[in-house]
Amino acid sequence: MQRLLLPPLKALTGSPCLRFLVLRAAPGAQCGCSWGIRRPLRPGQYSSISEVALQSGKGKVSLPSKAAERVVGRWLLICSGTVAGAVILGGVTRLTESGLSMVDWHLIKEMKPPTSQEEWEAEFQKYQQFPEFKILNHDMTLAEFKFIWYMEYSHRMWGRLVGLAYILPAAYFWRKGWLSRGMKGRVLALCGLVCFQGLLGWYMVKSGLEEKPDSYDIPRVSQYRLAAHLGSALVLYCASLWTSLSLLLPQHKLPETRQLLRLRRFAHGTAGLVFLTALSGAFVAGLDAGLVYNSFPKMGESWIPEDVFTFSPILRNVFENPTMVQFDHRVLGISSVTAITVLYFLSRRIPLPRRTRMAAVTLLALAYTQVGLGISTLLMYVPTALAASHQSGSLALLSVSLWLMNELRRVPK
């Protein structure tokens, strides 16, 4: 009987899927039978057969490290998806010129939209006091105002959803002890960046609400603040996605050859170039630079327009001259697709796992798709749907760049 039952019991108690507690015998305790069943001990003397332990009086469940990593990884993957949605929705809000329709900011109060005709009239009257209505939309109707107001409202409410997606699960995981010491620092940084992102968004909107008596230009937000707002969102997205991929995808044990080291460095540089290209798109959007030269490959009749260095000092042209901003975005886009093409052919020279090769092929396909979207957007004078697709493509390209970097990362010894 002992030979028949002991092996199954040992296998059962050693299973990682089993979650239960067993009594721990005190030193020198005698068994009451030949089976070796342990005697009950004083309260509190318990040990866990599996990796899950219930701490008495604290209600704190500590998951196995691998299981906790999977849970946290999936959470951060969802969070990165919500950030991507906020970036795309923000791009559409900018393309529809809706970002200045809400002229104040309240964390809780503005969550309730106007419901009655009187409330809508009051909201519309507030908007009429600011430059965008006076200069650009002085003949706007209430129905048209409702459309742009709901666009900005959707973007702001989505931003609050992003904040909740980060902060509430982070507090829960922290309390349950599912975050390692290093992960606690990362999560704190991510939650802090989410809060900073919300404040930066309102700081950006304020720049478009200011009266500028000496300017007859179309009211718009500062391109510098727009770039800072987009840049911080991209940093948040990249940090969340990178951490989730590192937790969810098993690392490949690749031989540390000179070719692999060169490929890894080139992948990092390419991802940085893709990030910089996406960030330069904020200056294009902020200055409406996509409308100054709607031809390709030349800009008008020349490869380099004469008005690229109109402003003085020269450095101002890089950030404030629409012609120079579009020219820079073109150069960065062409450089990115060239670098991705070279990266793909470098990856072909090295024996890589199937998943890594798939990342390289996907990156190459997305790069040329993104080029096609960008050229089409330019030639068709920036239609909203096509421009939004182009902006979404930059996020997809950045995502796959991070995926490939993650595939090539060094295995810690």
303-323: pLDDT as tens digits: 999 999 999 999 999 999 999
CB 370 within 8 A of CB 395: no
CB 159 within 8 A of CB 86: yes
Residues of the domain holding 357: 252-412
At residue 392 the predicted structure's pLDDT band, cuts being 50, 70 and 90, is very high
**Range name among 56-60, 254-258, 328-332 with the lowest pLDDT average:** 56-60
At residue 173 the predicted structure's pLDDT band, cuts being 50, 70 and 90, is very high
Answer whether residue 394 is part of any domain. Answer: yes
Domain count, the chain: 2
Answer whether residue 371 is part of any domain. Answer: yes
Tokens of 220: 């718009």
**Taking the model in full, what pTM does it have?**
0.84
Same domain membership, residue 357 and residue 235: no
CB 268 within 8 A of CB 275: no
**Chain segment 336-364, per-residue pLDDT in tens:** 999 999 999 999 999 999 999 999 999 99
**Range name among 53-62, 281-290, 301-310, 323-332 with the lowest pLDDT average:** 53-62
Helix (H) or strand (E) holding 23: strand 21-23
pLDDT for res 245:
96
pLDDT for res 211:
85
Average pLDDT over residues 47-70: 54
Better pLDDT: 204 or 27: 204
* Average predicted confidence (pLDDT) for the chain: 86
Model confidence at 8: pLDDT above 70: no
Answer whether residue 30 is part of any domain. Answer: no
CA 200 to chain centre: 16
Better pLDDT: 216 or 105: 105
pLDDT for res 63:
61
Same domain membership, residue 317 and residue 283: yes
Model confidence at 292: pLDDT above 60: yes
Answer whether residue 9 is part of any domain. Answer: no
Same domain membership, residue 259 and residue 227: no
In 3D, which of 401, 398, 370 has the Cα closest to residue 386? 370
Name the domain boundary from 217, 248, 279: 248
C-alpha distances out from residue 33 to 2, 5, 42, Å: 12, 15, 20
Average pLDDT over residues 195-221: 88
* Neighbour-count burial of 274, counting CB atoms closer than 10 A to its CB (0-12 exposed, 13-18 middle, 19+ buried): buried
Average pLDDT over residues 193-215: 90
Same domain membership, residue 268 and residue 195: no
pLDDT for res 143:
96
Model confidence at 394: pLDDT above 90: yes
Same domain membership, residue 236 and residue 263: no
**Chain segment 124-168, per-residue pLDDT in tens:** 999 999 999 999 999 999 999 999 999 999 999 999 999 999 999
pLDDT for res 216:
66
At residue 252 the predicted structure's pLDDT band, cuts being 50, 70 and 90, is confident
Which residues are within 8 A (CB) of 363 and not within 5 positions of it... i.e. 6 or more apart?
340, 343, 344, 397, 400, 401, 403, 404
Name the domain boundary from 222, 248, 274: 248
Same domain membership, residue 262 and residue 221: no
At residue 14 the predicted structure's pLDDT band, cuts being 50, 70 and 90, is very low
pLDDT for res 110:
84
pLDDT for res 3:
43
Same domain membership, residue 277 and residue 189: no
Helices 223-248, 181-209: crossing angle, 10 deg rounding: 160
Answer whether residue 33 is part of any domain. Answer: no
Residue 62, φ and ψ in degrees, nearest 5 = -105, 110
Same domain membership, residue 271 and residue 369: yes
pLDDT for res 50:
34
Better pLDDT: 287 or 42: 287
Helix, strand, coil fractions of the chain, as percent rounded to 5: 65, 5, 30
Model confidence at 117: pLDDT above 80: yes
Same domain membership, residue 283 and residue 222: no
pLDDT for res 43:
44
The percent of residues in the chain predicted with pLDDT above 90, rounded, is: 76
Average pLDDT over residues 227-247: 97
Answer whether residue 53 is part of any domain. Answer: no
Answer whether residue 175 is part of any domain. Answer: yes
pLDDT for res 130:
94
Same domain membership, residue 204 and residue 165: yes
Name the domain boundary from 216, 231, 248: 248
Same domain membership, residue 238 and residue 257: no
Same domain membership, residue 215 and residue 195: yes
Answer whether residue 212 is part of any domain. Answer: yes
